[in-house]
Amino acid sequence: MAELCRYAAIPDKNPREIVLLRGSGCKWRRCRFCDYHLDFSRDEAANFALNRAVLAQVTGRYGRLEAINSGSFVDLDAGTMAEIGRVCTAKGVHTLHFECHWRDRAAIPALRARFVAQGVETRIKIGVETFDALFRECYLDKGIDEADPAKIAAPFDECCLLAGLPGQTAESMARDIETGLRHFRRVCVNLMTGNTAPVQPDPAVRAVFVREVAPRWMCDPRVDILLENTDFGVGGTGNAE
């Protein structure tokens, strides 16, 4: 893959540093809108070397760190997980955010216990994309075999939603955000942008989201809205900060 930006600082809304790490790869790989899972390597030593260099950029300036990788935190090697813990202690990070697929949720309690033992609170984010279970599973193939938003939310703290897809409406996208806010601490809405996956954004639905939905939550501190999937500063190509 082209060189990706893997470190950024997010000064607005829930200020934090964010690192895009590389793991062994998403095990699901079936989501029909996603080509993010291409960022992986089976070479554990190479992943660790890359991740250590990325983590070396963390300053701890906000006390919050988000560590993402394509897939779940379980796809990161043991050395990288240890390095994340070391950096948290060294830089005074008190809150650590990870991503996790629904299928890996059983690993969350042990992760929380591990970091709590060193005084770090974890916030785990799940990509739900939409709470319309039929749309999500039959069209997007997300791999969440549960329809009840409360049950989906139970092991998690935060969720990602996807907007701008064919078939979505202003009402359905707003309903997803409202449902997310009822069940999760925070919601991150990604406006779908074109990629190499089979499901592509609908320009008309994207426009509806920007015009009618996004303004309602643009200033809500519990809602991140990414109009480009590189808005957090990581994932684009070019030189990392």
87 vs 159, beta carbon nearer ligand SF4: 159
Put the strands of the sheet holding 7-10 in their side by side order: 7-10, 16-20, 64-68, 95-99, 121-129, 158-163, 186-191, 223-226
> How far is it, in rounded angstroms, from Cα 84 to Cα 82?
5
Q: Report the nearest approach of ligand SF4 to the CB of residue 231 (Å).
A: 17
Using CB under 6 A as the criterion, what x/- string covers residues 118-147 for binding ligand SF4? ---------x--------------------
Q: Which is nearer to ligand SF4, 125 or 206 (CB)?
A: 125
Task: Tell the smallest beta-carbon distance from residue 229 to ligand SF4 (Å).
Answer: 11
Among the listed ranges 25-33, 60-68, 81-89, 223-231, the one in contact with ligand SF4 (CB under 6 A) is 25-33
Pairing of strands 16-20, 7-10: antiparallel
**Among 13, 29, 94, 222, interactor with ligand SF4 by CB under 6 A:** 29
Find tokens 């939550």 and name the residue.
Answer: 217
Please report how close the Cβ of residue 36 comes to ligand SF4 at its closest, in angstroms.
5
Burial letters 118-157, b for 16+ CB under 10 A, else e: eebebbbbbbbbbbbbebbbebbbbbbeeeebeebbebbb
4 binds ligand SF4 (CB under 6 A): no
Span interacting with ligand SF4, options 34-42, 114-122, 175-183, 226-234, rule CB under 6 A: 34-42
Supply the minimum distance, in Å, between the C-beta of residue 11 and ligand SF4. 26
Q: Can residue 28 be called a binding residue for ligand SF4 (CB under 6 A)?
A: yes
Return the range that interacts with ligand SF4 (CB under 6 A); candidates 21-29, 149-157, 165-173, 220-228.
Answer: 21-29
Nearer of residues 88 and 124 to ligand SF4, judged by Cβ: 124
Which positions from 56 through 85 interact with ligand SF4, judged by CB under 6 A? 70-71
- Give residues 182-221 in contact with ligand SF4 (rule: CB under 6 A): none
Footprint on this chain of ligand SF4 (rule: CB under 6 A): 26, 28-29, 31, 34, 36-37, 70-71, 101, 127
